[in-house]
């Protein structure tokens, strides 16, 4: 579960910095979180 937490925190940081570009990556990131790539 730590990988999900760290991935989520990183996603939030990136989301705050660049919402527009990260918006597309967030969808791919959600799939990566389920597989546990983070």
Say what the pLDDT of residue 10 is.
Answer: 77
pLDDT tens per residue across span 25-34: 666 666 666 6
pLDDT tens per residue across span 1-38: 567 777 777 777 766 766 656 566 666 666 666 665 54
Say what the pLDDT of residue 38 is.
Answer: 46
Query: Residue ranges per domain, the chain?
Result: 2-35
Q: Is the pTM here over 0.75, yes or no?
A: no
Reported residue count of the chain is 38
Buried b (16+ CB within 10 A) or exposed e, 8-37: eeebeeeeeeeeeebeeeeeebeeebeeee
Say what the pLDDT of residue 26 is.
Answer: 64
């Amino acid at each position: 579960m730590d990988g999900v937490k760290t991935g989520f925190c990183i996603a939030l940081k990136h989301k705050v910095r660049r919402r527009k570009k990260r918006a597309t990556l967030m969808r791919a990131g959600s799939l990566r979180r389920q597989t546990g790539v983070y």
